[in-house]
Structure 1
Amino acid sequence: MRIFRHLYDKVLNWSHHRHAPYYLAGVSFAESSFFPIPPDVMLIPMVLSKPLKAWNFATITTISSILGGILGYLIGYYGFELLGEPLVKAFGYEESYARIVSWFAHYGFWAVLLAGFTPIPYKMFTLAAGATQMALFPFVIASILGRGIRFFVVAGIVLYVGKRLEPVIVRYIDAIGWATVLLVVLAGLAYWLFC
């Protein structure tokens, strides 16, 4: 099945659309508070299609992600029981959320800073930061650093090696996609069995 090649082509087409930066901003904003898909799925093909705008795209992604993170923080701070908790349960992130809350108790600022590099969705960190009433200013600073580093590194890697890797990615996209799905399933099983 060539599902991943079809999805790759579709996202690449979206990245050429004249409103693509707005779509990128919307996905980045939403992902930080309630949307399950990371903005990298738009950032990467946009940098591939318009490499001269790589840093602009990374900036859009970072700023939008931080603004969405502030919304997630406010949801956690003022309405965790009403809005945040149902989001956590809807995405099946109860265990991740509990782990993040314990990280906040020990690491606070550093937990948010490192959130951009963990496999745990950033929205869980934003909700937990608000729910545990972390001070807003350190939260925003940590988000700027963590999210900024992540998205600029992604844009830089794609900018410098993306065009050389694109033919390989296109050729093996379905194998890469199915291998990723298999790894996620195996990691989930291992976590379920041993943790």
Structure 2
Amino acid sequence: MFRRLYHWTLSWARSRHAPAALGTVSFVESSVFPIPADVLFIPMCAARPERAMSYAFLATVTSVFGGIFGWFLGFYAFDLIARPLLEFYGKLHAFEALRAEVRADVWIILLLLVTSGLAHLPPMKVVTILSGVVGFNLWVFILSAIVARGARFYGLGWLLQRYGVAILAFIEKRLSWIAGGVVLLALVLWYFLKAHA
């Protein structure tokens, strides 16, 4: 099953519609969607390493525009759109705790923008909406988003461009072990979260 899913993902990553899907996911991930763009970006770069830098540019630009959209949601439409969205994802309590901690502190928001842009911690949509809610300077926000998201996508793109073929060969040979490791990790995470709920 995992092998079929893996090959389906790779074949789809080579399709002519993949860049449009990557742009869409990168945009909505930064403002409303919980799944990171890496789900498409990594297999696309691994399948076509020669296009990794163009994919990185596309993902960076659309992610930054999505972040700007999230900022505007927080600034102009928090109660109307952003609050129900955060409630839907079960993130409102965490958001309010983060909001109380930040209180428009420029350095904390910058740190959150960098960590969410590079490693999705906390999720990008939470930080973009928070930045708008507290009225964080839009131009500094845009600059930090360009730097953080660009570093992530171009860094990943460079690695996949350089080692994409080797990475695919490694995955092909050890797919069962990798799938088992992912399932085990998911079970451990589920148990940990349940035990500390």
Q: TM-score, normalised by structure 1?
A: 0.87
1:174 to 151, 174, 179: 179
- Measure how far apart 1:118 and its partner are: 3.7
Q: Aligned partners of 1:85, 1:6: CA distance in 2, in Å?
A: 39
Task: List aligned pairs for 1:180-191, cutoff 5 A.
Answer: 180-189=185-194, 191=196
Q: Aligned partners of 1:154, 1:99: CA distance in 2, in Å?
A: 32
Q: Aligned partners of 2:92, 2:55: CA distance in 1, in Å?
A: 32
User: What CA RMSD, in Å, does the superposition of the two structures yield over aligned residues?
Assistant: 2.0
The percent identity for this pair of structures is 32
Corresponding residue number in structure 1 for 2:159: 157
- Measure how far apart 1:190 and its partner are: 5.6
| 2:89 counterpart of 1:91 | yes
| 2:18 counterpart of 1:24 | no
Q: Aligned partners of 2:25, 2:12: CA distance in 1, in Å?
A: 12
Q: Secondary structure at the match of 2:136?
A: coil
- Measure how far apart 1:186 and its partner are: 3.8
Q: Aligned partners of 1:104, 1:148: CA distance in 2, in Å?
A: 27
Distance 1:181 1:65, change over 3 A: same
Contact map agreement 2:71 2:132 (CA 8 A) in 1:
yes
What do residues 132-175 of structure 1 show as CA deviations (whole Å, max 9, x unaligned)? 11111111111111111111122222223332232332423421
Corresponding residue number in structure 2 for 1:112: 113
Corresponding residue number in structure 2 for 1:44: 42
What do residues 86-124 of structure 1 show as CA deviations (whole Å, max 9, x unaligned)? 111111112432343224644122321222224321011
Amino acid at match of 2:86: V
Amino acid at match of 2:143: I
Matched pairs, number:
190
Amino acid at match of 2:163: V
Contact map agreement 2:63 2:149 (CA 8 A) in 1:
yes
Contact map agreement 1:100 1:124 (CA 8 A) in 2:
no
Q: Secondary structure at the match of 2:183?
A: helix
Runs of 4+ in 1 over 6 A off after TM superposition: none
What do residues 28-54 of structure 1 show as CA deviations (whole Å, max 9, x unaligned)? 011111112110011111111111111
Amino acid at match of 2:146: I
Distance 1:95 1:68, change over 3 A: same
1:75 to 48, 73, 76: 73
Distance 1:85 1:173, change over 3 A: same
Of 173-182 and 62-71, more deviation after overlay is shown by 173-182
Contact map agreement 1:47 1:159 (CA 8 A) in 2:
yes
Unaligned runs of 5+ in 1: none
Task: List aligned pairs for 1:140-155, cutoff 5 A.
Answer: 140-155=142-157
Distance 1:113 1:99, change over 3 A: farther
Contact map agreement 2:49 2:162 (CA 8 A) in 1:
no
Q: TM-score, normalised by structure 2?
A: 0.86
